[in-house]
């Protein structure tokens, strides 16, 4: 009997911290959000410690690492300051992303051919601490090949262009994600996907067997406003496991 491994769901809870920072107070609690997401079936919790600290704060990362049960995935740039913190926290996973001060959210994948020294230093330092390093890249062949050459553990394929496209263009973007995922697996990388995914556009991606994990934030936190976070996560988890809404 063939063994099917179900895809994993990582929940990005940055938006909970965005709401808290709007009043610079204590609520809503990022830790409580992580624990609720776990109850709903989250396989990992993602937070992005941005250089400008616009949402997640250093203390959140340390507290989550200590108190959550599922692996912590720390999203981060290759800045030496953030690397120092990551080394202290030693999360199970880290996802390296490009970061721009003025962006509303991460706008695209890393270009693995620029900032090479910082990139290599960050990958090596984290890997030495047994952190599984994934590189957030666009679905582009040369980026996938470079991720493997750099010794990354995983790639997270940026699905933003797929999510934002419509009609024929969406189909083309889907094929780009699928080709990148296939190549990644062929090269021995673990393949994740994320950005802009929601309760509808995720369905076609479920057919890409090479994608082992989805990382989703905005759509789930938005749904949580109406149904609660555990239920919002549960609904997405059900889709991922059963292929049905």
To ligand PXP, the closest distance from the beta carbon of 199 in angstroms equals 11
The C-alpha atoms of residue 198 and residue 225 are separated, in whole angstroms, by 15
Closest to ligand PXP by CB, 44 or 185: 44
Residue of the chain from 197, 230, 232, 240 that contacts ligand PXP (CB under 6 A): 197
The C-alpha atoms of residue 97 and residue 111 are separated, in whole angstroms, by 9
Closest to ligand PXP by CB, 1 or 173: 173
Closest to ligand PXP by CB, 89 or 216: 216
The reply to whether 195 belongs to the active site is yes
The C-alpha atoms of residue 127 and residue 86 are separated, in whole angstroms, by 11
The C-alpha atoms of residue 211 and residue 24 are separated, in whole angstroms, by 37
Of 63, 49, 57, 54, give the one whose Cα is nearest residue 18. 54
Closest to ligand PXP by CB, 1 or 199: 199
* x-marked contacts with ligand PXP along 103-142 as a string, rule CB under 6 A: --xx-----------------------------x------
To ligand PXP, the closest distance from the beta carbon of 73 in angstroms equals 9
Contacts of 140 (CB under 8 A, 6+ apart): 109, 176, 180
Closest to ligand PXP by CB, 3 or 100: 100
CA-CA-CA-CA dihedral for 149, 51, 68, 190, to nearest 10: -20
Structure tokens at 30: 């990022």
* x-marked contacts with ligand PXP along 83-102 as a string, rule CB under 6 A: ------------x-x-----
- Annotated catalytic residue within 15, 48, 55, 158: 48
Of 73, 70, 76, 74, give the one whose Cα is nearest residue 37. 70
Site for ligand PXP in 135-164 (CB under 6 A): 136, 156
Q: Please report which residue ranges of the chain form alpha helices under DSSP H.
A: 14-21, 30-39, 58-67, 80-89, 116-128, 141-149, 160-164, 167-186, 202-205, 218-227, 229-242
- Annotated catalytic residue within 15, 99, 195, 235: 195
Which one of 26-34, 146-154, 193-201, 232-240 is the stretch in contact with ligand PXP (CB under 6 A)? Answer: 193-201
Q: Dmax over Cα atoms in the chain, in whole Å? A: 54
Residue 215 binds ligand PXP (CB under 6 A) = yes
Site for ligand PXP in 56-75 (CB under 6 A): 75
The reply to whether 15 belongs to the active site is no
The site for ligand PXP (CB under 6 A) is made up of 12, 14, 48, 75, 95, 97, 105-106, 136, 156, 194-197, 215-219
Active site amino acids: 48, 75, 195
């Amino acid at each position: 009997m063939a063994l099917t491994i179900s895809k994993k769901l990582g929940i990005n809870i940055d938006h909970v911290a965005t709401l808290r920072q709007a009043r610079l107070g204590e609520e809503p609690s990022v830790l409580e959000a992580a624990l609720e997401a776990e109850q709903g079936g989250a396989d990992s919790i993602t937070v992005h410690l941005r250089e400008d600290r616009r949402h997640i704060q250093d203390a959140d990362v340390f507290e989550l690492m200590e108190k959550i049960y599922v692996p912590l995935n720390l999203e981060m740039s290759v800045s030496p300051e953030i690397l120092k913190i990551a080394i202290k926290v030693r999360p199970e996973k880290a996802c390296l992303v490009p970061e721009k001060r003025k962006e509303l959210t991460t706008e695209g994948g890393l270009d693995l051919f620029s900032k090479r020294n910082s990139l290599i230093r960050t990958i090596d330092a984290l890997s030495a601490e047994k952190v599984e390093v994934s590189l957030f890249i666009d679905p582009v062949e040369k980026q996938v090949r470079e991720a493997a050459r750099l010794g990354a553990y995983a790639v997270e394929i940026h699905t933003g262009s797929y999510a934002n496209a419509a009609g024929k263009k969406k189909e083309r973007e889907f094929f780009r994600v699928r080709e990148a995922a296939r190549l990644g697996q062929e090269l021995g990388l673990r393949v994740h996907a994320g950005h802009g995914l929601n309760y509808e556009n995720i369905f076609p991606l479920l057919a890409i067997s090479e994608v082992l994990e989805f990382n989703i934030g905005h759509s789930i936190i938005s749904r949580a406003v109406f149904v609660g976070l555990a239920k919002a996560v549960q609904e997405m988890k059900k889709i991922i496991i059963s292929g049905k809404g």
